[in-house]
Chains A and B, each alone.
Chain A
Amino acid sequence: EDQVTQSPEALRLQEGESSSLNCSYTVSGLRGLFWYRQDPGKGPEFLFTLYSAGEEKEKERLKATLTKKESFLHITAPKPEDSATYLCAVQAGSDSSYKLIFGSGTRLLVRP
């Protein structure tokens, strides 16, 4: 069964304190792994797509990496405006519907 697990469930950081969020996945044929950011009361905002092991993508203070079993979202010198829930999702190669399987998310709070 395709599955996505995110850790930690919640993370509190001081401004400038770098850290990483983890997304472990089990999927039959990975079409893509996606990272989204979700602010309270809003829909998820697309951040990155990763396709294959070894791939890395960066955007401002965020950097996403991918291995055959997990993905990391590294946050370098975070600011309070980075506070949000970060969601990881996978698209399985065996599923022609292109639907996403989401993890439960990591709630990030960055204190000034």
Chain B
Amino acid sequence: GAVVSQHPSWVICKSGTSVKIECRSLDFQATTMFWYRQFPKQSLMLMATSNEGSKATYEQGVEKDKFLINHASLTLSTLTVTSAHPEDSSFYICSARTGVRRGQPQHFGDGTRLSIL
């Protein structure tokens, strides 16, 4: 149980292109999803918290207009990297919580490796 699917797993595109990444909870409903960015040999950096039916909450230093998040249903959140540039190249990972009880873990997708040429 608690499977999170992320798509695509790998994308290479030209500078200036916008890229959309999907995150789906396959066997549970997720009112809250999270988007992370991870650089090589570094830990996960939280970018934003995505709440179903409301605006995402972005962490300090993350550009809202660059990283658009939509959480339109209880099983799907999307991250769109707008007008991507080489410095946006990274490993992007989403996660979802299975419940609201204390200590409920987040379950992660397998990530999307984004390479901007």
Interface residue stretch chosen among B66-74, B80-88, B104-112: B104-112
Partner of B57, one of A32, A97, A102, A103: A97
Number of residues on chain B facing chain A (CB within 8 A): 28
Closest to B57 in A: A97
**In this assembly, does B114 line the interface, its C-beta being within 8 Å of a C-beta of chain A?**
no
Q: How far is the CA of A103 from the CA of B43 in the complex (A)?
A: 7
Interface range for A:
20 to 34
**What DSSP secondary structure best describes chain B's contact surface?**
strand
Q: Would you give the shortest CB distance from A77 to chain B, in whole angstroms?
A: 26
Q: Which of A14-22, A37-45, A67-75 contacts B (4 or more CB under 8 A)?
A: A37-45
In the bound complex, residues from chain A placing their C-beta under 8 Å from that of B49 are 97, 99
8 Å CB contact of A49 from B4, B95, B103: B103
> Closest residue to B2 on the A side, CB-wise?
A46
Whether a CB of chain B sits under 8 angstroms from the CB of A53 is no
A41's partner among B103, B107, B111 (CB-CB below 8 A) is B111
